[in-house]
């Protein structure tokens, strides 16, 4: 059975299991072999990270074609106006690509764990918390979006991926929990894999039995349509000897 793990990734942890000479990695948080992130978080981002040992499940969660919503909480520098929020919602040209439309709104400061180290504060410049829900996941996308409208991101926390909400799990930074592999992940949609393509099946579901192809007299497979022709030949009334089929040609 596939495994699905939810981790509250701490700040300054790299999304890799291989050792790093100076920084912490996922191996310092999760002592589970053969699981890999389904979508990454930058080292300076925090929050929900899903990991699995199943390649098809990883694709269901992270592949852009599935458009799984991801909810972020961003503490930004400055006070966003209506124009800035409208630009975020409509999509922003970042130069190398244009972001898809998303949801963006101002929220009250969330009840989060303290960050270590804390963000920089400037007394003359207030900060604001935004909630953004996007269906993409490009490199540093949220930070680039807020910077493009004049609101640099100071702290970024991923709260939810699909229906998995970090606030519901109650995980402190560095804590993880194994989740039940069920809806919404196992939705029976085909997942692109190495050839040949096969439909994605829920864990434990067996493939349907293959029907044997009809064979000819010598055990070789019949050509397409041969079985149908043979059946019609068996039911055809025998022609009496000495009779000829009447011609309809004029």
Which CA distances in Å does 177 have to 10, 47, 172? Answer: 15, 13, 11
Closest C-alpha to 192, from 62, 41, 97, 37: 62
Among residues 28, 42, 44, 53, the one annotated as catalytic is 42
Q: Quick one: tokens of 155? A: 């702290």
Q: For 211, which DSSP code?
A: P
Q: N- to C-terminal Cα distance for the chain?
A: 72
- Cα angle, residue 131 at apex, residues 127 and 137 outer, rounded to 5°: 115
Residue with tokens 């926390």: 157
Is 42 considered catalytic here? yes
- Sign of dihedral through CA atoms 39, 43, 49, 55? positive
What amino acid positions are annotated as catalytic residues? 42
């Amino acid at each position: 059975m596939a495994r699905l793990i939810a981790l509250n990734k701490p700040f300054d942890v790299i999304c890799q299991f291989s050792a790093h000479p100076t920084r912490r990695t996922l191996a310092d948080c999760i002592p589970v072999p053969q699981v890999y992130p389904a979508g990454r978080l930058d080292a300076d981002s925090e929050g929900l990270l899903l990991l699995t040992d199943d390649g098809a499940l990883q694709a269901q969660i992270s592949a852009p074609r599935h458009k799984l919503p991801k909810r972020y909480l961003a503490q930004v520098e400055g006070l966003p106006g209506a124009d800035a929020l409208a630009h975020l919602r409509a999509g922003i040209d970042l130069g190398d690509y244009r972001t898809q439309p998303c949801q963006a709104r101002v929220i009250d400061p969330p009840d989060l764990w303290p960050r270590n180290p804390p963000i920089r504060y400037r007394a003359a410049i207030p900060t604001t918390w935004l909630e953004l829900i996007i269906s993409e996941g490009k490199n540093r996308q949220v930070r680039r979006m807020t910077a493009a409208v004049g609101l640099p991101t100071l702290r970024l926390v991923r709260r939810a991926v699909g229906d998995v909400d970090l606030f519901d799990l109650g995980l402190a930074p560095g804590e993880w929990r194994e989740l039940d592999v069920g809806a919404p992940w196992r939705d029976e949609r085909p997942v692109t894999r190495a050839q040949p393509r096969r439909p994605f099946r829920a864990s434990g579901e067996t493939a349907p039995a293959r029907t044997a192809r009809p064979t000819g007299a010598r055990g070789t497979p019949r050509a397409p349509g041969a079985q149908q022709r043979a059946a019609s030949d068996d039911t055809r009334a025998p022609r009496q000897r000495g009779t000829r089929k009447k011609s309809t040609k004029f």
